[in-house]
Amino acid sequence: MLTVLLILIPLITGLITFGLKGPGAKVFSLLSSFATLAVAVFAWAQFQVAPDSLQFTADWIPQLNSQFKVGLDGLSLMLVLLTAISFPLIFITVFSRSYDRAGSFYGLMLLSQAGLLGVFLAYDALLFYFFWELALIPVYFLCSMWGGERAVPVTFKFFVYTFAGSLLMLVGIIYIYFQTPGSFSWQAFTSLNLSNGEQSWLFWLFFVAFAIKMPVFPFHTWQPDTYEQSPTPVTMVLSGIMVKMGLFGVMRWLVPVLPQGVYMWQEAAIVLSVIGIIYASCIAIMQTDLKKLIAYSSIAHIGLMSAAIFANNEQSIAGVQVQMFNHGINIIGLWIIVEVIEQRLKIKNMTGLGGIATHAPKLAILLVIVSLANIALPLTNGFIGEFLMFSGLFQYNPWFAAVAGLAVILAAVYMLRMLQKVLFGESNALTATTTDLKAGEMLAMACIVAVIFVLGFYPKPLLDLASGLGLPNAIAAVITR
């Protein structure tokens, strides 16, 4: 029942929030997100003692033999925790702001949370698809309604991209369904023996859907614009959690269901991912727009994770899982600072910034820490995941690891340049007016920095989740092949 609660709490509170006004909606949704967090932590504790108690099955569509089947394992628990932690952080950050039509804003945020949690928990392919789309619809409205002046066309592009991709995945799901003895359950899907030819083309139906969501080069074109135009809290959801849906989809569904397909195409997928890493890093270096810089840096990071998944050995898979969590935390931290700068100075272009450090020292220190975590410096949380991913990739093919390794250097280039342009140097009339972080922002950032250091020093809890239980047997089967 715990797992069902995880979906029900944001869903029901989200619907209620639509009816609330201004501050009420704000407080109510914050409370709701804390309730979800509490349940998630409780589920984590429960997972250590009795993991079986977290499975739940109920009849849904008897005509199709599709079930409402949810459950938790290490992989989904990691992402559930990330989702549960992120939403309170986001709500705290924007607590001092008041949104037009706040009831709808917070209601949609909570609905997207419900969709995301559903995606991570679903063990039934049709249910998974259901939540996959459900997470998208609220985000579409959030971006279009509260986004920048170009938000409507940009978000629409995003919507059509992902919608087209997920429909292809639906065709794949339907096809596989007819090969099973009539079941959508994950167990039925993974125990199939599809022929190599079938796996080969089915791979692409699924891969495109997930690649668009991640996004992997060349399916990434929706991403920078959407990140730039969305209201920052939504960008945090998009970049922190939603992109993980794609990675999660590959790990939960693609690799276990189509192991041969993955084996056949892994090289192609890695090549695309590595191209994406280098390409996005180079563009990030050239960016002057703060939001776009972070967007491209995110593409590069996701590319590395995707490459590591398809390298598909124990280390790289464990690394991806750890990194999914840490990347989410770090990038939300980055967006919080960007949000602060944008709110205070009404400017996103870095050429107009500079010298903020002298006027807002706390902001400067925190931004430096988060940026260094984003570069994956040792003793920050980013390090362990990247290390595992690179060593996994190296085992697969040293050349890929070498080229992808450039990303670390490039990341240092663009992140440090960003720090230099924004924080240091001469301050101008505009940046001299910068005020430091307020209580809510400070609280959210303090939590994030705490996570960065704690997991940087002591990543064992995450690694425990990522190894053993989290590793689906099918992945292990591919490794031995």
Partner 1 sequence: MNAIITTAVFGIVLMFVGLFVKNKQQIKYFAIAGTILAFIANWYDCTLAGGSSVILHGMVEVSKFSILFNGVAIVSTFLYFLLCGSAFERVGDDVADYFALVFFILSGVMLTASFSNLLMLFLAIEIISIPQYILAGADKKNLKSNEASLKYFLTGSFTTGILLMGIALLYGATGTFNIREMGLGTGDLSPLALCGIILLAFALAFKVSAAPFHFWTPDVYDGSPTVFTAFMATVVKAASFVAFMRLFYVSFTGGDITHHWQLIIALITAATLLIGNFTAVFQQSVKRMLAYSSIAQAGFMLFAIVSNNEMAAQGMILYAAAYSVATIGVFAVLLKMKDYTFDGYNGLARREPLLALVTTIFLLSLAGIPLTAGFFAKYFVLSAAVQAGGLLWLVILGVLCAAISAYYYFRVIIAMYFRAGEAETLPITGGFKAALLLAAAIVIALGLFPGLLLQFL
Binding mask 323-342 for partner 1 (x = CB under 8 A): --------------------
Could you tell me which of 206, 223, 205 has the C-alpha nearest to residue 214? 223
Nearest to partner 1 of 70, 290 (CB atom) = 70
For the CB of residue 351, give the shortest distance to partner 1 in the complex, in Å. Answer: 31
What is the DSSP annotation of 199-226?
HHHHHHHHHHHHHHHTTPTTS-THHHHH
Q: List residues bridging with 66 in a β-sheet.
A: 61
Query: Shortest distance, CB of residue 69 to partner 1, whole angstroms?
Result: 16
What is the nearest approach in angstroms of partner 1 to the Cβ of residue 212? 11
Q: Where are the alpha helices (DSSP H) in 94-195?
A: 102-121, 125-146, 151-179, 186-190
* CB of residue 117 to partner 1, shortest distance in Å: 16
Taking residues 56 to 95 in sequence order and writing x for each that binds partner 1 by CB under 8 A, - otherwise, the string is ----xxxx--------------------------------
Min separation Cβ 306 and partner 1, Å: 23
**Alpha helix ranges (H) inside 50-124:** 74-93, 102-121
How far is residue 55's CA from residue 427's CA, in Å, rounded to a whole number? 56
Question: Is there a contact between 224 and 184 (Cβ–Cβ < 8 Å)?
Answer: no
- What is the Cα Rg of the chain in Å? 21
CB-based contacts of 366, cutoff 8 Å, min separation 6? 333, 337, 437, 445, 449
Interacting residue with partner 1 among 133, 289, 314, 436 (CB under 8 A): 133
Query: What's the closest the beta carbon of residue 171 comes to partner 1, in angstroms?
Result: 5
Q: How far apart are CA 117 and CA 83, in angstroms?
A: 7
Q: Enumerate residues 6+ apart whose C-beta is below 8 A from 243.
A: 213, 214, 215, 298, 302
The three-point CA angle 178-181-185 to 5° equals 85
Among residues 152, 345, 377, 406, which is the contact residue for partner 1, using CB under 8 A?
Answer: 152
- Which three-class secondary structure state does DSSP give residue 195? coil
Site string for partner 1, 154-183 (x = CB under 8 A): --x--xx--xx--xx-xx--xx-xx-----
Q: Please list every residue from 385 through 444 that binds partner 1, using CB under 8 A.
A: none
Q: Which stretch binds partner 1 (CB under 8 A): 141-149, 328-336, 348-356, 403-411?
A: 141-149
The binder of partner 1 chosen from 95, 129, 184, 207 (CB under 8 A): 129
Contact 320, 305 (CB under 8 A): yes
Position among 27, 35, 137, 430 found at the interface with partner 1 (CB under 8 A): 137
The window from 25-33, 125-133, 185-193, 265-273 that contacts partner 1 (CB under 8 A) reads: 125-133
Task: Please state, in angstroms and rounded to a whole number, the distance separating the CA atoms of residues 150 and 31.
Answer: 33
Closer of 114 and 350 to partner 1 (Cβ): 114
Q: Of residues 144, 316, 381, 434, which one binds partner 1 by CB under 8 A?
A: 144
Looking at the Cβ atoms of 86 and 185, the one nearer to partner 1 is: 185
Q: What is the DSSP letter of 53?
A: G
Q: 206 or 310, CB closer to partner 1?
A: 206
Buried b (16+ CB within 10 A) or exposed e, 289-304: ebbbbbbbbbbbbbbb
* Residue 70: strand, helix, or coil: strand
Total of chain residues touching partner 1, rule CB under 8 A: 27
Which among 74-82, 139-147, 251-259, 379-387 is the span making contact with partner 1, rule CB under 8 A? 139-147
Nearer to partner 1, 172 or 259 (CB): 172
For residue 253, the minimal CB distance to partner 1 (Å) is 17
- Residue 418 to residue 293: CA distance in whole angstroms: 8
Instruction: List, in sequence order, every residue forming a beta bridge with 70; answer none if it has no partner.
Output: 56, 122
- Separation CA 45–CA 403 (nearest Å): 40
Using CB under 8 A as the criterion, what x/- string covers residues 6-45 for binding partner 1?
----------------------------------------
Applying CB under 8 A, the span of 80-88, 134-142, 245-253, 286-294 interacting with partner 1 comes to 134-142
Q: Which is nearer to partner 1, 137 or 412 (CB)?
A: 137
**CB of 146 within 8 A of CB of 105?**
yes
Query: What residues contact 352, with CB distance under 8 A and at least 6 apart?
Result: 345, 428, 430
- Contact status: 120 vs partner 1 (CB under 8 A): no
Asked whether 329 and 385 are in contact (CB, 8 A), the reply is no
Nearer to partner 1, 123 or 177 (CB): 177
Q: For residues 5 and 170, which CB has a smaller minimum distance to partner 1 in the complex?
A: 170
- Of 182 and 361, nearer to partner 1 (C-beta) is 182
* 66 versus 239: smaller Cβ distance to partner 1: 66
- DSSP SS3 for 362: helix
Q: Strand, coil or helix: what is 258?
A: coil
Q: How far is the CB of 175 from partner 1 (least distance, A)?
A: 6
- Positions that interact with partner 1 (CB under 8 A): 60-63, 129-130, 133-134, 137, 141, 144-145, 151-152, 156, 159-160, 163-164, 167-168, 170-171, 174-175, 177-178
